[in-house]
A and B are shown apart, each in its own frame.
Chain A
Amino acid sequence: EPEVTQTPSHQVTQMGQEVILRCVPISNHLYFYWYRQILGQKVEFLVSFYNNEISEKSEIFDDQFSVERPDGSNFTLKIRSTKLEDSAMYFCASSEPGLQYQETQYFGPGTRLLVL
């Protein structure tokens, strides 16, 4: 069964460093998302991406964050200058093009980011 994959599974970085989290969505999906989950808290939406541009972003997704689909398979989340509060599990998700409505979003296993 096709699945969303994410690398790395764990990332430790120093505050102020740049990190790039990578995702490979399911191949026929066209909608891509990043969510994050701070330890012990609920999953929060960061950004959605379709047709090579951001569809929607949350307040969390400030200028330090960017997303890119550099080729036909990868979808990346970059944090330019990490802060301690960026420590969280980051989930990538993708969904297929429904005719009209939202289809199921399939999530990757997550990247656990720890900022020291």
Chain B
Amino acid sequence: SQQGEEDPQALSIQEGENATMNCSYKTSINNLQWYRQNSGRGLVHLILIRSNEREKHSGRLRVTLDTSKKSSSLLITASRAADTASYFCATDKGSRDDKIIFGKGTRLHILP
């Protein structure tokens, strides 16, 4: 299976701190994407990183990808209460209509 597995499963931090979530996968991928899901709601795309990229930034988000270790990390800097959500990594093998395989997610809770 190429699925991503996130760790930790749950993370609680104080508002203003940085949150780091990790994702590992098993087989070769072409893209890795991170999504956010607020409780019981839809999936919001955060960022896509391709296998030939090592780091990508979007606002307060920083994603790294290490294909040699088959792992990725998502860093949220200066966390806010609104960042409380579940975060999923999802991988694909790269063909244009390929399905994406989701991990189980990290539940992030930002404490006020």
Contacts and interface: CB of A to CB of B under 8 A. Distances in A.
A50 B99 CA distance: 12
A110 interface: yes
A42 B5 CA distance: 10
Q: Which secondary structure dominates where chain A touches chain B?
A: strand
A75 interface: no
Nearest to B94: A101
Contacts of A84: none
Contacts, number: 74
Interface residues of A, number: 31
B30 A91 contact: no
B80 to A, nearest CB: 21
Contact of B102 (A43, A97, A101): A43
Interface of A: 31, 33, 35, 41-45, 48, 50, 55-56, 58, 89, 91, 93, 95, 97-98, 100-110, 112
26 contacts: A31-B96, A31-B97, A41-B104, A42-B102, A42-B105, A45-B99, A56-B99, A89-B40, A91-B43, A95-B96, A100-B96, A101-B30, A101-B50, A101-B95, A102-B30, A102-B100, A104-B33, A104-B48, A105-B33, A105-B45, A105-B100, A107-B42, A107-B43, A109-B42, A110-B41, A110-B43
